[in-house]
Amino acid sequence: MVKVKYKSEGKILMTEGKLSFEQSTEKVNEVPLLELRNIHKFYGKIHALKGVDFKIYEGEIVGLIGDNGAGKSTLVKIISGVINKDKGEIYYKGKKVDIKSVEDARKLGIETAFQEMTLIDSLDVGLNIFLGRELTKPSLPFILDYKNMYIKSGEILNKLGLRIAENPRREVRFLSGGEKQGIVVARAMLFKSKLVILDEPTRNLSVAGVKMVLDFIRNLKKEGIACIFISHTLHHVYDVADRIVLLSRGEKVLDVPKYKYTLEELENMIIQATYLSKSYT
């Protein structure tokens, strides 16, 4: 169990004539699990990230939102080691680290499900789930353990309620968009670590699929796993997030704990932050 200190401060709400006290979930006096300071990234002449600060605590769910091209994907790709930052520092549990590759990120326990379907169409479901981390036989560490991989894939897909669980040998290109997204999420579930990054996990999913992903994120929190949840729509994020972070044109323009605001208030703030260059950090 992860022990979390909460600020004993909250907000008194008046609903239907009853007073209620909403407990704050803002954490204080704690070292963030991951902290990024002043991150810059250039793509040629385009300044994709302009000095972004970002932090996430253990077991916290951060909803990262923003328009296309706001820099969300760039930010998470830097965290997961796919691309390298041009400037800035990354701290893991207060210690300065250098994430240069996907391997580095995985060693820190960072698992990412990318927005681009990171699947190989010509390979089967089982191999895709274990892509880059294939299981090998315990006695012969050079030989792949297909049987075990298929069993484990079947189990995890079953948990997600996906029909493809029956046939983990099926080639991925014959699957529907939702099933493909399911595989990406299944991968994050299987290799759950300290921090799971889900880049648009609800895209292409049915209503039931979205619910499943949101439940999954809640389960992560229960197990003390932090999660960065990226989405276009505030609504999906609002359901589960502890904190909302908004990027706009490569800058962080909003970073607020969710409990303080209603959905409507947040929507207004997002519009103001995005289009009127107001800052709420």
Partner 1 sequence: MVGSSTQVKQKLMLFILENVAWPLFIIIYTILGLVKPIMFSPSYFIYILYLSVPLGFAVIAQSICLIGGVLDLSIGSVIGFSAMLAGLILMEYSHIIPFWLSLLLPILIGILCGMFNGLFTGFLRLNPFIVTLATMMLFEGLKILISGGFCIPGRYLPELYLLPGSDLTIAIISFIVISAITGFFLKYTKWGIHIYVVGGNQNVAHMMGINLRLMLFFIFTLSGMFSGIAALFYTGFNRSVPVTIGSQVLFPSFAGAIIGGISLQGGRGSIINSVGGALLLGVIEAFLVTFAITPEARIVGYGAIVLIAILFNQFRESLRDSILRRI
Residues of the shown chain interacting with partner 1 in the complex, contacts defined by CB under 8 A: 81-82, 101-103, 106, 114, 116, 118-123, 127, 131-134, 136, 142-144, 146, 170-171, 174
Q: Least Å distance between CB 79 and partner 1?
A: 13
For residue 215, give Cα distances in angstroms to 2, 115, 189, 236, 238. 20, 19, 12, 11, 13
Nearer to partner 1, 121 or 155 (CB): 121
Complete DSSP assignment for 148-169: HHHHHHHHHHHHTT-GGGG-TT
Torsion sign over Cα 122, 125, 127, 131: positive
**Tally of residues, the chain:** 281
Nearer to partner 1, 82 or 234 (CB): 82
Q: What is the number of other CB atoms lying within 10 angstroms of the CB of residue 1?
A: 6
Q: Least Å distance between CB 175 and partner 1?
A: 11
Nearer to partner 1, 71 or 81 (CB): 81
Q: Least Å distance between CB 112 and partner 1?
A: 8
CB-based contacts of 167, cutoff 8 Å, min separation 6: 125
Distance CA 144, CA 250 (A): 42
SS3 262: coil
Nearer to partner 1, 9 or 116 (CB): 116
Nearer to partner 1, 128 or 202 (CB): 128
Q: Least Å distance between CB 105 and partner 1?
A: 8
Asked whether the beta carbons of 61 and 221 are under 8 A apart, the reply is yes
Q: Least Å distance between CB 171 and partner 1?
A: 7
Nearer to partner 1, 16 or 116 (CB): 116
Nearer to partner 1, 33 or 172 (CB): 172
Nearer to partner 1, 73 or 274 (CB): 73
Residue 78 one-letter amino acid: I
Q: Least Å distance between CB 103 and partner 1?
A: 5
For helices 207-222 and 177-190, the axis angle rounded to 10 degrees is 10
Q: Least Å distance between CB 118 and partner 1?
A: 5
Q: Least Å distance between CB 149 and partner 1?
A: 11
Complete DSSP assignment for 233-279: -HHHHHHH-SEEEEEETTEEEEEEEGGGS-HHHHHHHHHHHHHS---
Distance CA 76, CA 230 (A): 9
* Residue 161: φ, ψ to 5°: 70, 30
